[in-house]
Chains A and B, each alone.
Chain A
Amino acid sequence: ETGVTQTPRHLVMGMTNKKSLKCEQHLGHNAMYWYKQSAKKPLELMFVYSLEERVENNSVPSRFSPECPNSSHLFLHLHTLQPEDSALYLCASSQAYLQEETQYFGPGTRLLVL
């Protein structure tokens, strides 16, 4: 247990569905991250939030929409996804952004888009 939880752990959705991934951290951290891990590819950073403000958006398609209502919760809203979006989506948190602080990861949500 790292103190970062993600739900659901597995998700199957059609290309016309709308779903949301949820991340919660119990570490009192101020920065939260979304990563994508596709099969046979390295982790890719998608979004970064610091103190509930989005500070990084790494050329992610608009069908992925993040939301950070408070420093403990992070959502990734999904709509009109493509099969190539099937991947492991990982949430992480750290004490602060742009500092030498360790990132701690949740268990991930395994997403399959049909």
Chain B
Amino acid sequence: DAKTTQPPSMDCAEGRAANLPCNHSTISGNEYVYWYRQIHSQGPQYIIHGLKNNETNEMASLIITEDRKSSTLILPHATLRDTAVYYCIVRVRSNYQLIWGAGTKLIIKP
């Protein structure tokens, strides 16, 4: 079973920041948090990952709480093309498998 909990859906206005929450209260100290997204019927696209520190790349920022029990993915200026299902995944350290949940369906509205 997935070790993460995400809201099933969210809306965000175009041009605004989209903040996607994820709870992972049972995460172990050496397990990374990964974010992928999947645009309708396409393959998942890697976004970002992190362990303890906040991370930023050209796509998004990842904010991880100090206790590591939750994180937030931030898309700073959402566009219509960011409409997708976003998956927060805690990577199991024993076999490095990605255990996928249902994700959050993010809809960007004009």
Contacts and interface: CB of A to CB of B under 8 A. Distances in A.
* Bind each other: yes
Contacts of B98: 43, 45, 103
Interface residues of B, number: 19
Interface stretch (A12-20, A67-75, A78-86, A105-113): A105-113
Contacts of B2: 42
A42 B100 contact: yes
A47 interface: no
Contacts, number: 45
Contact of B42 (A44, A98, A104, A107): A107
- Majority DSSP secondary structure for residues of B touching A: loop
A2 interface: yes
Interface of B: 2, 32, 34, 36, 41-46, 49, 91, 95-98, 100-102
Interface of A: 2, 4, 6, 42-45, 56, 88, 90, 92, 97-100, 102-108, 110
26 contacts: A2-B46, A4-B43, A42-B2, A42-B100, A42-B102, A43-B44, A43-B98, A45-B97, A56-B95, A88-B41, A92-B43, A97-B96, A98-B95, A98-B96, A99-B96, A100-B91, A103-B46, A104-B46, A105-B36, A105-B44, A105-B46, A106-B43, A107-B42, A107-B43, A108-B42, A108-B43
